[in-house]
Chain A
Amino acid sequence: MSADLNVKKGFIRVLEVVLFTFLVFGVLMSSFFKYSDSNDWSGVQRLALSHDLLFAFEKEKAFESVLAPLPYSYGPNSYNINPLNGTTEKILPTIYDYEYEVKNVPPPRISIGCICDSYQADWLRSILEPNRSLYTVTILNQGNFSDLFQTFVIFGGKNLEPYRENITAALEEGKGFVLVSNFSSQPDNMTRELFGIKYTGGSYQDVSFRFDDSSGTVPAGISKRYINALRRVRTEGENFTGKLYLKDRTYSVSQVLEINCVNISLCSGCLREGESCTIANTAKISLFKKDLSALRWIDIKINSESQNPRDYIFRDYVPLNVERGRDSLLYYGNYAMANAVVGGYGYSYETEPRRFWIYDYDKNHDDLNLLLKTGIIWSTGEHFFISRKEIPEKRTVATHFFTGLRNNSIPFTVKLYTWGY
């Protein structure tokens, strides 16, 4: 009986050894197979191709011909993505699909929700001209707040508290907000939170404002965009004349039909496209493009006349009653005239909302109009997908930083997503 019991115990021991061996072997085999799985060079090849492609595009400046093609054209067809897709499809194996994501370049179509009246909406449309992007401006109320808009522009000192729920939802999606407003009393909490405004009260003074290039990257980024943005000056009448209002002075503009150039008062010489002139202590004006057919407009760039073109000084009679903060874009002493706020909501970089606020906006000033236009474009998030394909979770991403488009010194990022079928 005891011998029989010993044999049974022995049998159980053997079973234990077998089970243990299976377990050990199972654990080791998994690591062996894991090693075997690491032999996936197709993934390495795909990633290398993606990175190479972006480097090659940088070398041949391919994104300039895609995102800023010449001659400069306006509207939705100004982005030519065909060469980009053509090259990518010839490089990537046919089993892969792809998508490009661009950050820090305005999207081809921009939809703006405006909390304003119809007159202000029309005005907004006029100052956004000219641009490569196609703009649509829709007048909003609480009922038609929608996530279809990339940015929201608010005119006047409206109480934003009733919109809190809509605004919070829009912020969570990284939408931008622009406020064009003065204050004679403390704004509501939503306005203060949204735009980083600290109202202190004060009195009217004659002051100069400038781009704050020294603190923070956001204001400097706006000034780079400002000097590259275009302001359209209308010319009319038999002599094709118009007005240019910079700082606190008006300059006359006239198109000279015979020699195809533009005269600006106090500007030496008649300007042709691509030429610049300096108005002493005011600005450097560059003629970018003119209406060759009807002579009804000219498109100009406004830079500082000083060594750094971004150091443009705005001059105005402004009530100094908003405290200058870290995000102040234009300031005088301790007081702010415009703020540009990004982030603060803890989202990923691509979806952090951008907010822009401008004080004492005067629609007669061309430089302030250009600043408002710059702020609106910046607030869109400047983020888009070129083909708007649905990107699966299992994909490879290659990211490349570009130094700018056509020497504008505004860095932008391109991500190339690839995935297989």
Chain B
Amino acid sequence: MKGKKSGQINVYFILSSAIFISMVIYLIYALVDFYPERGQNIRINSLYSKAYLLSELMIKDQGYPQTWDENNILRLGLASSPYELSRVKITRMQSMCDSTNPAVIARLLNSSGLPDERMMVTIEDLDENKVLDCNPFKRDYENLFQGSRVAKITRVVTLDNKTVKVTIYVS
């Protein structure tokens, strides 16, 4: 029987070290690969939540004050009663969206609860005629949302006793 020589590495040790190091590398890879995706998911979930919240305000709430205009608006809302839009409020919102005054646009974004997001709102009837086309950033869709993920929520309500679609984009 021979004794073990000093400095000689056992084959089991090499094997186990290799497995252990492989495992560590795999875990690091999996985490590095996984977390950015999760981060994106968190971000897109947050955007959808904001878009959904805004859609709820727009179709169910009258806004604050109830007879808001571009000078006193604190909370955006387009409904005269839940699921029934007010044409007067749609006209006022369109006017704010079309404004070139940065203060008015800032008030609109603040009142919608999205001061730091890019957003667009459209309202159209079932024949795709636009009743509201709100694009406060004055850029086309591709330009506005280029390279970023967009949350899109569509809701259905009535306007003058007809069904219309409200679509909200938030990025």
A15, A25, A39, A91: the one contacting B45 at CB < 8 Å is A39
Q: Within 8 Å of chain B (Cβ to Cβ): is A45? A: yes
Q: Is the CB of A49 within 8 A of B41?
A: no
Q: Is the CB of B38 within 8 A of A10?
A: no
For window 36-94 of A, CB contacts with B under 8 Å fall at 36, 38-39, 41, 44-45, 48-49, 52-53, 55-56, 58-60, 87, 90-91
Q: Is the interface of A mostly helix, strand, loop or mixed?
A: helix
Q: Is the CB of B162 within 8 A of A60?
A: yes
Q: Within 8 Å of chain B (Cβ to Cβ): is A119? A: no
Known: A3-B4, A14-B16, A39-B45. A56 touches B83 (CB 8 A): yes
CA distance A13 to B30 in the complex (A): 24
Q: Within 8 Å of chain A (Cβ to Cβ): is B146? A: no
Interface string of B120-161 (1 = CB under 8 A from A): 000000100000000000000000000000010111111001
- Cβ-closest chain B residue relative to A36: B41
Known: A18-B23, A21-B27. A91 touches B165 (CB 8 A): yes
A25, A41, A91: the one contacting B151 at CB < 8 Å is A41
Known: A7-B10, A14-B16. A35 touches B83 (CB 8 A): no
Q: Give every chain A residue within 8 A of B163 (Cβ-Cβ).
A: 53, 56, 60, 87, 91
For window 4-49 of B, CB contacts with A under 8 Å fall at 4, 10, 12-13, 15-17, 19-20, 23, 27, 30, 34, 37-38, 41, 44-45, 48
Closest Cβ of chain A to B37, distance in Å, is: 7
- Contact residues of B with A, CB < 8 Å? 1, 4, 10, 12-13, 15-17, 19-20, 23, 27, 30, 34, 37-38, 41, 44-45, 48, 52, 55, 59, 82-84, 126, 151, 153-158, 161-163, 165
Query: Could you list 8 A-B pairs, sorted by A, with CB under 8 Å?
Result: A10-B13, A11-B13, A11-B15, A11-B16, A36-B38, A48-B55, A56-B157, A59-B158
Task: List 6 tightest A-B contacts by C-beta distance, closest first.
Answer: A14-B16, A52-B156, A11-B12, A59-B158, A55-B83, A90-B126
